[in-house]
Amino acid sequence: MRDILRVSGGNVLFLALSIIMTLFLPFILSVEDFGYWQLFYFYSSFSGLLMFGFNDGIHLRFAGVSENELKNIPVGNYFIFNLLFAGILTILFLIVIMIIDIDTQRKIVFFSLGIYLWLFNINSFFNHVYLITMQFKKYSFLKYAQRLLFLILLIVNILTINIFNYKSVIFLYGGAICLLILLNIYLNYSILFKHKYGTTIKDIVTNFKRGLPLTIAAIISMLLVGYPRIIVDNNFSIEIFSVYSLASSMLSMLITVILSISTVLYPKLKKKSKNDIGIIMHKATSIIAPVLIISFLSYFVFVIIIRNFLQQYISILDFIHFIMPLVYFQALFNIIIVNLFKIYDLEKNLFITNSMGLIFNILITYFVFSIYESLEVIALVSTITYGIFFLVSLVYVSNLTQWDYKKHHLWADYIYMVIFIIAIELFHEYITFVVILISTIIYALYILIIKKYYLLFIGGRE
């Protein structure tokens, strides 16, 4: 639990930097330029697919080893392979971008994305090394270091040439990750270049085989939340995409903290007994309620910011409350479902579950969107379908692993979310605030008094 809190604490700094950047960039960029920046940033989140599971395979195979045990693993050879393999695929991606017929601005965005793919996967390799060896302090520090470097470069830009468009922002973002890669190489020089071990083709293939289902499942999991933005990108202007993306970015700031908990849990759970896994899971999920409360109350902060400083994005307020429950769904999905699938070596089941969920969500959302054609419909329907997918996945993984989800009284969370959405839809802002504040107090009392002692009781018996 201490490691979870440590990484979450590190992510508070990451969150603070994310808030500054998320709200600073739309303030200094035009709506169109911010849209192209978000186009780059959104599609860059799928960069991990480029390695086809190689890095994830290393993570799954060696999670829980100590730093000293790294000497017995060909980390340096893996790094060189990562460097070359990602480089080759990046070149192929750039060739395709130069050949296909798209407008100039998009070509610039996706060409920049191609270069970023290489940089991302090099940096991702080091993140996996820190996680498998449970170097959580270093992982947390370097996780927000990129954001800090990016912010510093933005400030330098303001104080010097003061050129701000999506091209300069992408360039500075790439510069930040380059600096971070150099820092990572310096910190890991000994394990990369001083220990020489042979690596067989079979060993490389094993990494791909082990990690590919997890990588694809992770990408599909991201699509489950991200596909509405693809629908918006394909059916609306870049300005509308910019507005929808700002709303999604505001939520992703909160989701980042939750994802850090999931990342820390797997190496710790891998070496635990089934009884210990149940107890740790119950403790980890206890942090979800505060995050849900914070995310809902932050809605009113978003309203103040949009109305007073980002009025060009005022249409966000028509739909952002519909997608805010996604913070909750993503949190529990990554902490409980993903980790249970990984612990019990059910990565293929996770892949199948996510694939079926994605198909279901896209079909329903596209069908409803074809009738109403509005951002509000995309936001609401995508949240409802994700909620259904989450519940079905929870029941499925519980049956496979004998982990009893019913002990968590999730019905209270759902009631709280429904009240939140209905209040915003029906009442004036001041009445809405009072209704949500009262429901938050009741929900918090339930969590602190009733649910807390119930979980302590059943947690002690598992």
pLDDT for residue 461 is more than 50: no
Contacts of 17 (CB under 8 A, 6+ apart): 144, 147, 148, 151
Residue 31's pLDDT band, with cuts at 50, 70 and 90, is: very high
pLDDT for residue 458 is more than 50: no
Average pLDDT, the chain: 81
| Interatomic CA distance for residues 33 and 41, integer angstroms | 12
Say what the pTM is. 0.81
| Interatomic CA distance for residues 74 and 192, integer angstroms | 8
| Interatomic CA distance for residues 133 and 9, integer angstroms | 19
Residue 342's pLDDT band, with cuts at 50, 70 and 90, is: confident
**Range in 216-220, 237-241, 351-355 with the lowest mean pLDDT:** 216-220
Give the residue, 70 or 264, on which the prediction is more confident.
Answer: 70
| Interatomic CA distance for residues 162 and 96, integer angstroms | 33
* Tens digits of residue pLDDT in 33-71: 999 999 999 998 888 777 778 888 887 777 777 777 777
**Range in 35-39, 161-165, 320-324, 440-444 with the lowest mean pLDDT:** 161-165
pLDDT for residue 197 is more than 80: no
pLDDT score of 262:
60
Q: What is the mean pLDDT of residues 309-331?
A: 89
pLDDT for residue 459 is more than 60: no
pLDDT for residue 295 is more than 90: no
Burial of 420 (0-12, 13-18, 19+ CB in 10 A): buried
Give the residue, 401 or 437, on which the prediction is more confident.
Answer: 437
Q: How many residues does the chain have?
A: 462
| Interatomic CA distance for residues 82 and 126, integer angstroms | 11
Give the residue, 225 or 7, on which the prediction is more confident.
Answer: 225
